[in-house]
Chains A and B, each alone.
Chain A
Amino acid sequence: MKLAFRFLRPFFVIFFCFNLVGCVSVPSGFLKPPEGYLEKRQLQTRQYETANEEQIVMAVAGVLQDLGFNLDNSETRLGLVSASKKADAKSKGQITGAVILDVLAAFGGSYSNSTAQCDKSQVVRASVIVKPALEGRKMVVRVTFQRIVWNMSNQISRVETINEPLMYQKFFDSLSKAIFLEAQQV
């Protein structure tokens, strides 16, 4: 009998581990400004020389449409526009690598399905705030992007805030253009 218990003991340990893994505690400090938030703010913000808030909000909505976003929500009295866009997330490099790995595994006589872990699609969400600058007749525009990436087996593989300067650069370039175009009534 003792032998049977000894035999079962490791299973018990594993069972308890699994039970405990299910408990997730809420971390603390996630509402503290992260390091380097001032630089990030700078990256996400541009000022425009106008006092016309409505004009800028309309230009923002126009730009989001130019970039293929769907407008989800807005509150013009606060200068808020939020939008999202579904996009392809397939990367040729990643897929090629995964296929090679799978084929190698097959040759080695084992099973691998790395292809299923490859990125397939993504939803990019943007929210834009337009508000008057502290001094002068200026408007401050701030945009933040985040994205959710799904893999080939339709599981969420990544969620993240987008911090690539290029993305923000592109948005503001388009916005400057749109403000100019709208001023010219195009």
Chain B
Amino acid sequence: MRNCSFLVFLLFISIVLSGCATPASSVLTAESSQVRLRSIQTRAFDTADKKKMLQNVISTMQDLDFVIDKADFTLGSVTGSKFLGYEVVTMSVTVRPRGEKQLLVRANAQYGIKSVEDPATYQDFFVALEKAIFLTAQQVD
């Protein structure tokens, strides 16, 4: 009989808990630390040509099957999306100057409703971008 009441208890708890809503503030929490996330998503390039960099970002994203949704030259941002099976991958890339001679490129991707925080995935993107622009991507501390 105890077994049975335990089952009923479990059922009850699961019904009660399923009523819990996610607090809105949880949207702003990332799984990794802010510093770590920045370092895996960011690379520096030895060029000051923002326009050329943005156009290379766009063509790299197109090579990766992305369709570009939006771009803004002043902000230095490019946003695109691609379909992977039934999931949508969205990616934003921003390009901004770092000193006089360098540009910082930051990419962040989402797979469905999940943020991509795997360093290897971003590394793949930067390798593809390096090939497009013939420059080496440098790790930023």
Interface residues of A (CB under 8 A from B): 1, 4-5, 8, 24, 26-34, 37, 40-41, 44, 72-73, 75, 77-80, 82, 125-127, 129, 131, 142, 144-146, 156, 159-161
Contact = CB atoms under 8 A, between A and B. Distances in A.
A127 B69 contact: yes
Contact of B73 (A41, A72, A75, A142): A75
Interface in B83-121: 83-84, 86-89, 91, 109, 111-112, 114, 116, 118, 120-121
A32 B124 contact: yes
Nearest to A160: B83
B58 A31 contact: no
A44 B54 CA distance: 19
Contact of B89 (A4, A30, A75): A30
Contacts of B48: none
Nearest to A34: B65
26 contacts: A27-B84, A27-B111, A30-B84, A30-B89, A31-B64, A31-B122, A33-B64, A34-B65, A37-B63, A41-B62, A75-B70, A75-B73, A78-B54, A80-B68, A80-B71, A127-B68, A127-B80, A129-B58, A144-B65, A145-B67, A146-B67, A159-B83, A159-B88, A160-B83, A161-B65, A161-B82
A26 B111 contact: yes
